[in-house]
Homo-oligomer: A and B are copies of this chain.
Amino acid sequence: MNIRQVAKAAGVSSATVSRVFTRSAPVDPQTEHRVHKAAKQLGYFPNTYARILSSGKSYTYGLIISDITNPFFPDLVKLFERHALEYDYETLVVDTDYDLKRMEQCVRRLLEHKVDGVAIMTSEMEPKLIQILSRRDIPLVFLDTGKVGRNISNITIDYEHGIALAIDHLLQLGHERIALIQGPPTLKSAVTRRNAFISSLKRQNITLRREYIRTGNHGVDGGQAAMNELLDLPSPPTAVMCSNDLTAIGALDAAYTRGVQVPSELSLIGFDDIQLSGLMQPPLTTIRVSRVEIALRAFMALYDAIPGSRKRTANHIIATELIARRSTAPPPKPSGESQSTKHTVGVRSAQNKN
């Protein structure tokens, strides 16, 4: 079943059939109708590959993520694909597995598929590969790691604001011994969060102890390990800000395992607001970064881009918001011993449903 058979059946040329299906040129309503009828009758639909081959446009976007198994991504993928489908684009999703070597293969695959644009949603990144893409005038959009330029848009998450929100929340609850489990120092986004944490504390005149900054890996195991280190401290923190939710989940697990009650003895706050977080016991207080927004911006950045141009290239800022659930509460009352605390905040406002 091909375009010519339809053409014959409708008594027109294949060019006309093509025009009908691609809407690339006006066609007489009469003939259009005949074509549609013939097509339906024959059960015809265009061959994607032939179409791509001859048009030179693949109508597909590459979507590079770290790992579909990381709960941050499925949402994003699904949302992105939804937009793409709406505009008749396909999405080719590739996992880097957090590995820059594999990223190279990914880019290669995308190139083979002649993608019309690439959204790079990983937190790690390889400048060399960007060049490869960029040199071919393929529109690019980064999550957080790119610089706006020719063909390149970027989506910036307002980490600073998010972290400030979190710290304020903790401060209002009365915490002073606040620790951080940071992400891998190799990730720009993790460093940004770390810096925001430090400056937030400074701004509020809270002294930050060196030993209160630990390093995780943005995974559950890293959170567990770091939390254990924190709990081993002679004077452990009463609240811990985690670089992402997975880290917080690991921290929660470590606390639980050691019999430390969250939130009555220890407050925990995450970042991202993955679905899972709301299901933990207790549900995690976290900073939400809207995947809905990211997906939309990312798609639109590609769709609006004009290949080989600096026009229509932009930096988009994604807001962050505090989702107060039940993993945060006022710090435990001082037990009379040395570590005296000042604030006494009785109301566990964050425990209210919201």
Contact = CB atoms under 8 A, between A and B. Distances in A.
B253 A279 contact: yes
A316 to B, nearest CB: 24
Copies of this chain, how many? Answer: 2
B68 A74 contact: yes
A69 B50 CA distance: 33
A137 interface: no
Contact of A256 (B73, B220, B257, B281): B281
The 3 closest A-B pairs by CB, nearest first: A281-B281, A49-B49, A49-B52
A46 interface: yes
Given A58-B49, A220-B279, A68 B68 contact: yes
Interface in A170-224: 220
Contacts of A220: 279
Contacts of A68: 68, 74, 77-78
A9 interface: no
Interface in A127-173: none
Contact of A276 (B49, B74, B276): B276
Contacts of A73: 74
Contact of A281 (B77, B95, B252): B252
Contacts of A95: 78, 81
B48 A113 contact: yes
Contact of A249 (B75, B112, B279): B279
A45 B281 contact: no
Most buried by B among A68, A220, A353: A68
Given A69-B75, A74-B68, A93-B93, A108 B45 contact: yes
Contact of A280 (B53, B93, B275, B281): B281
A47 interface: yes
Contacts of A275: 69
Interface string A106-120: 001001111000000
Interface in A38-80: 45-50, 52-53, 58, 67-69, 71, 73-75, 77-78
Nearest to A94: B81
Interface string A240-276: 0000000001001100110000000000000000011
6 contacts: A45-B112, A46-B112, A49-B52, A50-B53, A74-B74, A249-B279
A346 to B, nearest CB: 15
A252 B283 CA distance: 12
A69 B58 contact: no
A74 B69 contact: yes
B48 A257 contact: no
B48 A112 contact: yes
Given A68-B78, A74-B74, A45 B279 contact: no
Given A49-B49, A69-B78, A353 B112 contact: no
Given A78-B95, A276-B279, 14 more contacts: A47-B114, A48-B114, A49-B49, A49-B53, A49-B58, A50-B53, A53-B53, A68-B68, A68-B74, A71-B71, A220-B279, A253-B281, A280-B280, A281-B281
A46 B113 CA distance: 10
B49 A353 contact: no
Most buried by B among A46, A48, A73, A256: A48
